[in-house]
Structures are given as C-alpha cells and as structure tokens.
Amino acid sequence: MNILITGGTGFVGSHLTKQLTSGGHHVYIMTRSPEKHQNSSGITYVSSEVAASDLPEIEAAVNLAGTSLFGRWTKEKKQSILDSRIKTTRRLIELFKEMKKRPEVLVSASAVGFYGTSDEIIFTEHTKQPGSDFLAGVAQAWEETAEAARELGIRTVLTRFGVILGDDGALPLMELPVKLYVGGKVADGEQWMSWVHIDDVTGLIQHAIEHSGLTGPVNVVSPYPKRNKDFMRTIARVWKRPYWLTAPESIVRIATGEMGDMVLKGQCVKPVKALQHDYSFAFPILEKALADLRRKELKKKQSF
C-alpha cells in the first residue's frame, strides 16, 4: 500500500513510518525540505508542494503535521500552533482534489483537548460539544478542515490523541523530576491524564487505515486514564524513586504561562470506538507502559 504522511519526521510520524515500512508498505513523506532526507526502499520524501501527477496512486493518507505545543504560548506561538495544522490540512485537501484516484481513507490527527477540561465528566466520542479553551478551539478547527475530505468521498478518521508516552513528547519532561529524586504530584493532583503508549498510537492509526467501518472521531487513549497524583506515583514506582514533592500551581504558572493548563487541567477520556472496533491495546495498563519505555530507554543508553 502507498501511504502519504504529513509530519512523517516528527515524534509520532517517525514511529508510524517505521511500523508501516516494516509491514511492507511504501511511505511518501511530505516535507518542506525533502532534500535534507535520504530516500530508501520503503520511504520517499516529497515536497509539501508536490503535484498529484508526481505521486503514484495513494491508497491512504495520514495527517500529523503541526507545530509543537511545548513552549510559552505567546500570541505568535498560538497562531503558529493553529496555522501549522490548518494550512497543512488544507494543502492535503487541495492535493486530493487534483488526484485522478483519491485515497480510500484519511487519518487526520486531533487531540482530546477537543473536549475541554473537567475533573468529573467522562468524555467519549459521543460527546459532541467541544470545550471553550484555546486547545479545544484548535482541535475543532483542525477537525472541521479535515472533514472536507469526507465531501470528496474519502473515509475520514479523526484521531484524538491523549498524552502520548514515548521517547519524545511529554513523558521525558514528566519523568525528569522523578529521576532527580524530587518527583510528586502537580498542584492537587486530581486532574485527569488520558494517556496512551506510542505503540498504541501507531497501532490505532494502522487499525483505522485497515478497518473500513471506522470513521469520524476516535479517541486514541488507554481505557484506563489516571489522575495526575496516581500517574506521577506510578512513574516513581517504575523508576524506584521517591514520591514526595508537590509542584505548586503558582510555580507551574510562572514557569509555563497558559501552556500550564496542559498539566494543571485535564479530561477523563475513554476509547469507546477503538474497543467497539476490536482494537486490542498493547499497553492498556500504565505501569506496564512505563516499564516498557524505561526498559527501552536503558537499552538505548547501553548501546552507546
């Protein structure tokens, strides 16, 4: 299968590319600088302005591109977060319109931030009302842009990612204080964390590509979310470190500004559609997920 990916060199994209190519698929990665990358037998880098006529027949597309959420959310940063997602998605839609034969499916990234935050509500794909904060607005606009693919007859899946655990992203930052023996909860620790192992992110994306009955929003999270206090305690247990220090909300706010909402607030999200469509999670339990990632980190360090 020929699969087109935006954001293919990023955290999720690089893991997904490795998985797809190992399964015999050919991946075409859209990037602004294809000349900086080396093609291989399973990967071809193409310009983000590539013409449809310069591509082979594409059976599936995965849209992952977007500026990182990490960093202080200045006015310029927030605009970049939004624009990078919307403009890339629009470019994909334009490309689809040029194609003689369009992809069977588009899997387009989104986030559980769509739902807004709550300490009490359990969110599923049946929750239609988006939240009212910045991230909810970004997710809603991103999904609405991607939905144009459906109007072109392309099955469209909107993967709402939770906190992705892997060798990049949020986890290394969360583990750092634990490794330095100053780990503990953030604020009161009651905020929910809907997390997912990177292997289940790529697994669910491939599941969405291969299962024609899957469409619309899909929550890419473990079936067992954790409150921050329990999440951080589990990290400490896996790393055999103390769990004793609280990071006060005031300090987090000073250090991160509005971005602090990502760790000070949360949402309890369940992957109802994934389970209904027979996806089997590789790492549904947090402790096993963290232990797997710890083992891989230590193995990688030993290889140097």
Q: Mind listing the pLDDT tens digit for each residue in 210-253?
A: 999 999 999 999 999 999 999 999 999 999 999 999 999 999 99
Q: 304 pLDDT exceeds 80? A: no
pTM: 0.96
Structure tokens that stand for 151 in this block: 């109007």
Architecture of domain 2-302: 3-Layer(aba) Sandwich (3.40)
The set of residues, in sequence order, having a beta carbon less than 8 Å from that of 260 and lying 6+ positions away, is: 249, 252, 253
The arithmetic mean of pLDDT across residues 6-33, rounded, is: 96
The arithmetic mean of pLDDT across residues 176-202, rounded, is: 97
The answer to whether the beta carbons of residues 184 and 247 sit under 8 Å apart is yes
Give the model's pLDDT for residue 302.
85
Q: Hey, where are the domains in the chain?
A: 2-302
Q: 298 pLDDT exceeds 90? A: yes
Measure the CA–CA gap between 158 and 131, rounded to whole angstroms. 17
Q: 57 pLDDT exceeds 70? A: yes
Rg (C-alpha) for the chain, rounded Å, is 19
Provide the mean pLDDT of the chain. Answer: 96
Q: Mind listing the pLDDT tens digit for each residue in 81-126?
A: 999 999 999 999 999 999 999 999 999 999 999 999 999 999 999 9
Q: Mind listing the pLDDT tens digit for each residue in 39-50?
A: 999 999 999 999
The answer to whether the beta carbons of residues 98 and 49 sit under 8 Å apart is no
The arithmetic mean of pLDDT across residues 24-46, rounded, is: 96
